[in-house]
Amino acid sequence: MFTQPIPTLRRDGGGLVILDQTLLPWRVVERQLARLDDVAEAIFSMRVRGAPLIGCAAAFGMAVAMEAGTADDAGLDHALAVLGATRPTAVNLAWALNRMDACLRPVPPHARRTAAWAEAVAIFAEDAAMCTAIGVHGLGLLRALRPRGGRALRVMTHCNAGWLATAGMGTALAPVYAACAEGLDVEVFVSETRPRNQGLLTAWELAAAGVKHVLIADNAAGLLLMRGEVDAVIVGADRIAANGDTANKVGTYLKALAARAANVPFYIAAPASTFDLETACGEAIPVEERAAEEVFFVDGLDGEGCPRRLKLAPVVDTRAVNPAFDVTPAALVSGFITERGVFGVKELDGFLRGVRV
Ligand code: MRU
């Protein structure tokens, strides 16, 4: 049974405590969120991030709102609107808010506070259980891979889809953790993931768990795949359209293309809450555009080990665009690792029907 080394979020009386991911991997700091607006700010500024955790944070945000604000229908609508506007791509956000709405709307206002905390706790626990199941099914895939020349099994990932991004052991990293627990020799290629460098979060959690890993610049992925140095690519997802097209952190699509060219399997690991039947295909997925500052600046440590923000682009007249996600066509996906098993694109329909029952 996997236990998060530090809970990604937890209830503290009438408020919420989160592990502030904007300060990682340099400083481990928990942050108290006492008001609806605090939770919305934490999601928008990526203090909590990763699609499943965004959904969990939104659910807890509803409980904070019922606690600290008015719990009548106007208060409910306000909280749903504020949280729903924080980040557009991860469908887990809308999924969790719909579920909180369905739970709270029929309940009289005086009973909504207790009901909201109970539902948020249930969503968090279910997400943790889904991560564990994803780990079990992904482990089956990893066991079947045969690394070349007796070396470690090499998995490439992108962004951070580990425990930091969920309520449990992660999605893309869950099979890796499960494999290591079983004694498989696994090594993870971790791409930096410019501009927000979530790969550093992945390196941090893998290092803490004693999992072998190698940090690479994003642009090194193609060569490593082409040379046969990678046995499988596993990434998470922010929204999977009904046809299997998948939005995930920008840079995922390039890895999928390179993996296909090199004949390396490319897997998406995600729970049911990331599948969006209302969105027919990738073109209809809203892609979050974030501030140009994220491209111009980089965070790190100076020579004395103090956290610093550096400006990378001194050119005054340079413009930057910053799409936070890209969309990988379903045709490039070898399989979806879900809590119910591994499905090819053609089998997705059956999986989704099962989820709906
Ligand atoms: O912008 P972020 O850091 O929230 O993006 C995270 C990702 O793209 C993850 O790969 C995805 O949410 C899956 S997390 C289990």
Q: Is residue 333 part of a domain?
A: yes
Q: Is residue 154 part of a domain?
A: yes
Domain edge (last residue) among 62, 94, 126: 126
Q: Is residue 2 part of a domain?
A: no
> Is 143 found in the same domain as 110?
no
> Is 288 found in the same domain as 312?
yes
Mean pLDDT of 111-120: 98
> Is 121 found in the same domain as 136?
no
Buried b / exposed e over 160-176, threshold 16 CB at 10 Å, is bbbbbbbbbbbbbbbbb
Q: What percent of the chain has pLDDT over 70?
A: 99
Q: What is the pTM of this model?
A: 0.97
Atom of ligand 1 nearest to the CA of 270: 15
Tell me how far the alpha carbon of residue 236 lies from the centroid of ligand 1, in angstroms.
7
Strand 232-235 relative to strand 266-269: parallel, antiparallel, unpaired? parallel
- In this prediction, residue 158 carries a pLDDT of 98
For ligand 1, mutation pick of 9, 248, 337 (most atoms within 8 Å of CB): 248
Mean pLDDT of 166-180: 98
Reported as a pLDDT band with limits 50, 70 and 90, residue 74 is: very high
Residue whose Cα lies nearest atom 8 of ligand 1: it is: 249
CATH number of domain containing 153: 3.40.50.10470
Mean pLDDT of 29-54: 98
On whether the CB atoms of residues 64 and 34 are closer than 8 A, the answer is: yes
Q: Is residue 4 part of a domain?
A: no
Mean pLDDT of 94-123: 98
Among all chains, which residue has been given the structure tokens 């070898």? 334
Q: Is residue 137 part of a domain?
A: yes
Strand 153-158 relative to strand 186-191: parallel, antiparallel, unpaired? parallel
Domain edge (last residue) among 126, 158, 185: 126
* pLDDT for residue 213 is more than 80: yes
Total domains in the fold of the chain:
2
Q: How many CB atoms lie within 10 A of CB 278?
A: 9
Tell me how far the alpha carbon of residue 89 lies from the centroid of ligand 1, in angstroms.
10
Helices (H), 145-247: 174-181, 198-208, 221-226
* DSSP-assigned letter for residue 285: S
> Is 190 found in the same domain as 138?
yes
Helix axes 73-84, 36-44, angle to 10 degrees: 20
Q: Which residue among the candidates 231, 238, 245, 276 is catalytic per the annotation?
A: 238
Q: What is the domain range of residue 100?
A: 9-126
* pLDDT for residue 354 is more than 60: yes
> Is 134 found in the same domain as 121?
no
For ligand 1, mutation pick of 56, 159, 176, 201 (most atoms within 8 Å of CB): 159
Q: How many CB atoms lie within 10 A of CB 244?
A: 25
Mean pLDDT of 147-157: 91
- Looking at the chain, which runs of residues are DSSP E strands? 9-12, 15-19, 30-33, 153-158, 186-191, 212-216, 232-235, 239-241, 246-249, 266-269, 275-276, 297-301, 307-311, 325-328, 335-338, 341-343
Q: Is residue 207 part of a domain?
A: yes
Atom of ligand 1 nearest to the CA of 171: 15
> Is 111 found in the same domain as 29?
yes
Reported as a pLDDT band with limits 50, 70 and 90, residue 69 is: confident
> Is 302 found in the same domain as 174?
yes
Tens digit of pLDDT for each residue in 75-91?
Answer: 999 999 999 999 999 99
- In this prediction, residue 357 carries a pLDDT of 40
Tell me how far the alpha carbon of residue 338 lies from the centroid of ligand 1, in angstroms.
16
Atom of ligand 1 nearest to the CA of 54: 4
Q: Is residue 1 part of a domain?
A: no
Domain edge (last residue) among 78, 110, 126: 126
Q: Is residue 26 part of a domain?
A: yes
> Is 163 found in the same domain as 101?
no
> Is 256 found in the same domain as 215?
yes
- In this prediction, residue 346 carries a pLDDT of 87
> Is 211 found in the same domain as 295?
yes
Ligand 1 neighbours, Cβ below 6 Å, are 46, 49-52, 90, 159, 161, 165-166, 171, 198, 235-238, 248-249, 324
> Is 23 found in the same domain as 136?
no
* pLDDT for residue 198 is more than 90: yes
Tell me how far the alpha carbon of residue 238 lies from the centroid of ligand 1, in angstroms.
6
**Preceding peptide of 323 cis, ω within 30°:** no
Residue whose Cα lies nearest atom 15 of ligand 1: it is: 161
* pLDDT for residue 172 is more than 60: yes
Tens digit of pLDDT for each residue in 274-328?
Answer: 999 999 999 999 999 999 999 999 999 999 999 999 998 777 789 999 999 999 9
CATH number of domain containing 68: 1.20.120.420
Tell me how far the alpha carbon of residue 162 lies from the centroid of ligand 1, in angstroms.
9
> Is 200 found in the same domain as 221?
yes
- In this prediction, residue 356 carries a pLDDT of 52
* Residue 238 appears among annotated catalytic residues: yes
Average pLDDT, rounded, for the chain: 96
